Amino acid sequence: MSQLPPPSPQQREHEEPHENNGALPWYVAALVIALLLFGIVYLWRTTISTPPEWGDGRTVAELQGPSGDAAGGIDGGGIFSARCAACHQATGAGLPGVFPPLAGSEWVQGDSQTLAAAVLHGIQGQLTVKGQVYSGVMPSFAAQLSDAEMAAVLTHIRKSWGNHAAPIGVDVVARVRKATATRTEAYQGEAELHQLKLTP
Ligand code: HEC
């Protein structure tokens, strides 16, 4: 039996594939239309700001943080954590001999204007808190905190850790800021703070 010659390349090749021009199957068209309709109805029915009860159950007020503080909606506790807790500690207990406590402090729960003035401009020098004498440097916050933020953080420290003092309103802070506007340095400890006469 004689061997056949190898087929020519044209014979070995398969035919080039080509698209049939058959119509789109009806079920594919139906699926596309169904998905389209679903999308339209879904978007049409969706509320952009869904009511909180559809989500995790928290209310708008809870998401905005505690607004029990005097300064409507500003989170005094948050400001305390960010600005004050590094020195006075999250517990408000301070560090013995270095940073005085705010918990149970007569300054925190005392005259609201003196407190506002002290935190606005800072304190430097001898200061007695709960019978302990401190002699450190408390920075000024006049440039960092607005009147509303100051009112919120002062109200927070007057109500935390067992403290029970009346809230401090934005008006009080604004008045003290205005009355002490020319001041550029910290109060010289209790000697100066005790003599403050801010009440108009
Ligand atoms: C860098 C550390 C530091 C930071 C931050 C700081 N304090 Fe003080 N604070 C002190 C020191 C130190 C004293 C005591 C000053 C002295 O001995 O004359 C003091 C004193 C006080 C006092 C009067 C004494 C007392 O214990 O009641 C109050 C009130 C007070 N700080 C509130 C605040 C508030 C509110 C903030 C945040 C907005 C804050 N402090 C941030 C260091 C700090």
Locate 199 and state its tokens.
Answer: 């009440």
Please tell me the residue having the least CA distance from ligand 1 atom 21.
138
Locate 80 and state its tokens.
Answer: 């305390």
Q: Is residue 81 situated within a structural domain?
A: yes
For the entire predicted model, the pTM comes to 0.70
From the CB of 176, is ligand 1 less than 6 Å away?
no
Q: Is the pLDDT of residue 120 over 70?
A: yes
pLDDT in tens, 4-38: 777 787 778 888 887 777 788 899 999 999 999 99
Q: Is the pLDDT of residue 171 over 90?
A: yes
Tell me how many degrees the CA angle 47-51-57 measures, rounded to the nearest 5: 140
User: How far is 20 from 28, CA to CA, in rounded Å?
Assistant: 16
Contact 136, 99 (CB under 8 A): yes
Q: Is residue 138 situated within a structural domain?
A: yes
Q: Which of 143, 145, 162, 133 is nearest to 76 (CA)?
A: 145
**Residue 114 CB partners (closer than 8 Å, separation 6+):** 107, 193, 196, 198
Q: Is residue 77 situated within a structural domain?
A: yes
Tell me how many degrees the CA angle 94-96-97 measures, rounded to the nearest 5: 115
Q: Which of 89, 74, 41 is nearest to 170 (CA)?
A: 74
Atom of ligand 1 nearest to the CA of 189: 18
Q: Is residue 93 situated within a structural domain?
A: yes
From the CB of 148, is ligand 1 less than 6 Å away?
no
pLDDT in tens, 29-51: 999 999 999 999 999 887 777 66
CATH, residue 144:
1.10.760.10
Q: Is the pLDDT of residue 123 over 60?
A: yes
User: How far is 82 from 62, CA to CA, in rounded Å?
Assistant: 20
Q: Which of 156, 145, 141 is nearest to 108 (CA)?
A: 156
From the CB of 87, is ligand 1 less than 6 Å away?
yes
Give the number of domains in the chain: 1
Contact 174, 116 (CB under 8 A): no
Q: Which of 190, 198, 199 is nearest to 107 (CA)?
A: 190
From the CB of 88, is ligand 1 less than 6 Å away?
yes
From the CB of 187, is ligand 1 less than 6 Å away?
no
Contact 128, 107 (CB under 8 A): no
From the CB of 105, is ligand 1 less than 6 Å away?
yes
Q: Is residue 44 situated within a structural domain?
A: no
Q: Is the pLDDT of residue 67 over 70?
A: no
Q: Is residue 48 situated within a structural domain?
A: no
Locate 163 and state its tokens.
Answer: 């403290």
Distance of CA 52 from the midpoint of ligand 1 (Å): 39
**Residue 27 CB partners (closer than 8 Å, separation 6+):** none
Give the domain extent around 157.
61-193
User: How far is 149 from 73, CA to CA, in rounded Å?
Assistant: 10
Q: Is residue 29 situated within a structural domain?
A: no
Q: Is residue 12 situated within a structural domain?
A: no
